Chain A
Amino acid sequence: MNFKHKYVFLFPGLFVLIGILIFPIIFVVRLSLSGWNSYNGLNFIGLENYVRLFTDDPRFWESFIRLSFLSVTTVTLQYVIGFALAHMVWKEIKFQRFFRVLFLIPMMTTPVIMTVIWRTFFHESLGPVNDLLQIFDVAPKWLTDPTLAKITVIIVEVWQWTPFMFLLLLAGLLSLPKEPFLAAAIDGASPIRKFIYVTFPLMAPISIGAIIIRLIEASKIMDTVYVLTSGGPGTSTETSSFYIFIKGLREFQMGYAASMSFTYLIIMIISLTVIAKVLTKLLLKE
């Protein structure tokens, strides 16, 4: 095929993306070496910000550990529930199309807007959850208790994003070849054995892809937290992004926030690569 044309196809998209991104990224690195805040401009202070981050800011690392906990928990739940749901509506079932559409709907809704609704839903005195729990004579503080606030965030995230997992896994199930299932049926395998020895191994590559995609998206948890609890009570639901947001765009310590964002980005890339490698090993070992 002709040599020149390929660039005409590739370059517009590539250059627009690079054009929009390259300066911001370079700028973040430069900014992270400055003490930019409300009164200092773009001066040069060397690695001071990084020294402060690594030696004197436990709040950042706590928020990072919290983020890891929240994303791993929500993604695990989403994967298990999403796989179960996909498996259930995969084969003939009554109202199959109705359930498929219904299970997709939450991911089409704007997270922050639904979170506003969830806030009213979990309201301590005026929400339906505590109203129904009155029967058992309990009134959990869904949004103001440090532990329960985390659970509320997890519930909302699971509601919102299980459909995405469901979609990827159902698309995967529908694309599986038929032969292995026929072979299993001829051997008279029970449904459970069929799942363990046929369906699950065949789904392993798709599972890895889906988990990684969801982990990437979950690691950005921020707007749900902002609306639901504003990181509180205290800092008990504060994630890395949210902490950087407070430092950078609330307290205007831009330089320090930039050094945190850059560190955060590097940690994200490394940990996601490691997770991808580990998952590939675990799920594809056969």
Chain B
Amino acid sequence: MGKLYTFLKYFFITVWTVFVVAPFLWALTTSFKDFNSVNGGVTYIPWVDFEPNLEGWRVLIKSPAQGGVDIVEPYFNSLFVTCTASLVSIILGTLSAYALSRYTFKAGPIKNNDITFFFISQRIMPPIVLSIPFFLFLGAVNLLDSLFGLIVVYIVLLMPIAVWIMVDFFNKVPREIDETALIDGCNPYQAFYKVVLPNSIPGLIVAGMFCIIFGWIDFFFAFILTFTEVQLLPVKIVALNSSITPWWSLSASALVSVAPLIVVAFIVERYLSKGNLSGAIK
């Protein structure tokens, strides 16, 4: 019984590992291929099946005029939009979450839980519902195809995540520490800034990671709200996926775009092992 279970367990883990790794390995080998080794039949192993070359990687930094793809600018655009929107969402979301966790609000039938639910429920909103008015509004104020317009939209996407994680987190930070700080003569802002925040760093990191993940992987809004002036990485890479697809540069750019977030996987796992995450996401 025990042996069978162990066997099945390792079997299942192996199968899943292969499934998870397969597209990455495929992209990695493809990125070193040229036209012939892609279109002449399926090849797998460099030096055995085909002669590897670096063309797929080289075009990434060449400008389009030289026949390149130039993902450098979209890369920094993506980085900038994701980080700015995450930062704003974390700051505003943390403040709101702190209020919702520590104080009681009452406006008619609306109580704390309803306000929290309002924040979180914004994730239910299908992006397509907002896309049409956003498209028309941003067009009306001349923010279509601009970084600022995208950041505004991303704040709506990310703030619910920040509030969701931080409310739960603050609920677990003992109230006594704020109260002690208040008795010691801090005003509420100092208490929050000097005492509560330093004790909330694990929560802030987890919330930050999630904001960055969901900001970085968004395609839809960037796709609809930008055209030529501003291009984000996912849009740029998907645009490569045209009729005659250069599989090699496509694979190389995909790997480059995926790389930074793999670091995030390590950080998330670390907090998971320490048990900090269990309270933060529930």
Query: Could you list which residues of chain A lie within 8 angstroms of chain B, going by C-beta atoms?
Result: 1-2, 5-10, 12-14, 16-17, 20-21, 23-25, 27-28, 31, 81, 84-85, 88-89, 93, 97, 99-114, 116-121, 126-128, 131, 159, 167-168, 170-172, 174-175, 190-191, 206, 209, 216-217, 219-220, 222-223, 227, 240-241, 244-245, 248-249, 254, 257-258, 261-262, 264-265, 268-269, 272
Q: Which of B129, B130, B233, B268 has the most CB atoms of chain A within a 10 A radius of its CB? A: B129
Among B1, B124, B192, point to the contact of A9 (Cβ < 8 A). Answer: B192
> Complex formed: what's the CA distance from A113 to B269 in Å?
23
Q: How far is the CA of A249 from the CA of B225 in the complex (A)?
A: 11
Binds A, one of B50-58, B197-205, B271-279: B271-279
Chain A residue contacts of B275, Cβ below 8 A: 174-175
A113 touches B127 (CB 8 A): no
* Number of A-B pairs, beta carbon distance below 8 Å: 255
Residue picked from B16, B30, B153, most chain A C-beta under 10 Å: B16
Contact of B254 among A5, A9, A16, A117 (CB under 8 A): A117
Q: Among B26, B124, B273, which residue has its beta carbon within 8 angstroms of that of A128?
A: B26
Instruction: Provide 30 A-B residue pairs closer than 8 Å at the C-beta atoms, listed in order of the A residue.
Output: A9-B103, A12-B95, A13-B119, A13-B159, A16-B159, A17-B122, A27-B133, A88-B13, A89-B13, A97-B273, A108-B258, A110-B219, A111-B217, A113-B254, A117-B26, A121-B26, A126-B39, A127-B42, A128-B42, A170-B272, A171-B272, A190-B1, A220-B126, A220-B127, A222-B128, A227-B238, A241-B126, A249-B131, A258-B132, A265-B129
- Chain B stretch 99-128: residues in CB contact (< 8 A) with chain A: 99-100, 102-103, 105, 115, 119, 122-128
Determine the distance from Cα of A28 to Cα of B156 in the docked complex, in whole angstroms.
17
Docked-complex contact B237 and A171, CB < 8 angstroms: no
Shortest distance between the CB of B114 and any CB in chain A (Å): 12
B208-223 CB mask vs A (1 if < 8 Å, else 0) is 0000010011011001
* A105 and B20 contact, Cβ closer than 8 Å, known pairs A17-B122, A20-B152: yes
Residues from chain B with a CB closer than 8 A to the CB of A216 are 123-124
Which chain B positions have C-beta within 8 A of A102?
17, 20-21
Other than the known A5-B188, A88-B13, A109-B217, what 18 A-B pairs have Cβ atoms closer than 8 Å? A1-B103, A10-B100, A10-B115, A21-B130, A24-B133, A24-B134, A100-B273, A104-B269, A113-B254, A114-B258, A159-B20, A167-B277, A171-B277, A171-B281, A175-B279, A206-B282, A244-B128, A254-B132
Q: Is the CB of B219 within 8 A of A111?
A: yes
What residue in chain A is nearest B93 (Cβ atoms)? A13
**Is B185 in the interface zone, CB < 8 Å from A?**
no
* Contact residues in A for B131 (Cβ distance below 8 Å): 245, 248-249
* Closest B residue by C-beta to A84: B12
**B231 CB, nearest partner CB in chain A, Å:** 14
Given the interface pairs A13-B92, A128-B26, the reply to whether A20 lies near B155 with Cβ below 8 Å is yes
Ordered nearest first, which 4 A-B pairs have the shortest CB separation? A13-B96, A175-B278, A9-B99, A24-B133
B48 at interface (Cβ–Cβ under 8 A)? no
- Interface residues of chain B, those whose CB is within 8 Å of chain A, are 1-2, 5, 9, 12-13, 16-17, 19-23, 26-27, 30, 38-39, 41-42, 44, 92-93, 95-96, 98-100, 102-103, 105, 115, 119, 122-137, 152-153, 155-156, 159-160, 163, 182, 187-189, 192, 213, 216-217, 219-220, 223-224, 233-234, 237-238, 240-241, 245, 247, 250-251, 253-254, 257-258, 261-262, 264-266, 268-269, 272-273, 275, 277-282
Q: In the complex, what distance in Å separates the CA atom of A129 from the CA atom of B200? A: 47
A9 and B95 in contact, given A84-B12, A120-B30, A223-B220 (Cβ under 8 angstroms): yes
Return the chain A residue nearest B6 by Cβ.
Answer: A93
A113, B257: Cβ atoms under 8 Å?
A: yes
Q: Tell me the dominant secondary structure on chain A's binding face.
A: helix
Bound Cα distance from A16 to B217, whole angstroms: 23
Q: A116 with B133: in contact, given A12-B95, A121-B26 (CB under 8 Å)?
A: no
- Please tell me if the beta carbons of A6 and B103 are within 8 angstroms of each other in the complex: yes
Assembly CA distance A88 to B282 (angstroms): 20
Instruction: Choose among A101, A110, A118 the residue with the greatest number of B CB atoms under 10 Å from its CB.
Output: A110
What's the minimum C-beta distance from B272 to chain A, rounded to whole angstroms? 6
Contact B129 A10 (CB under 8 A): no
Partner of A1, one of B133, B188, B281: B188
Which residues of A lie under 8 Å from residue B217 when comparing CB positions?
Answer: 108-111
- For A223, list chain B residues within 8 Å (CB): 219-220, 223
Chain A residue nearest in CB terms to B261: A108
Q: How far is the CA of A27 from the CA of B282 in the complex (A)?
A: 34
Q: Known interface pairs A126-B38, A222-B127. Does A27 touch B20 (Cβ–Cβ under 8 Å)? A: no
Residue of B nearest to A257 (CB): B132
* Given contacts A113-B237, A120-B247, A88 and B129 within 8 Å (CB-CB): no
In the bound complex, do residue B188 and residue A108 qualify as a contact, i.e. CB atoms below 8 Å apart?
no
Residue of A nearest to B103 (CB): A6
Assembly CA distance A262 to B134 (angstroms): 15
Complex: chain A residue closest to B97, CB-CB = A13
A41 to B241, CA, bound (A): 35
Inter-subunit contact A31/B103 (CB<8 Å): no
Write the nearest CB–CB distance from A11 to chain B, whole angstroms.
8
Say whether A100 contacts B98, CB under 8 Å.
Answer: no
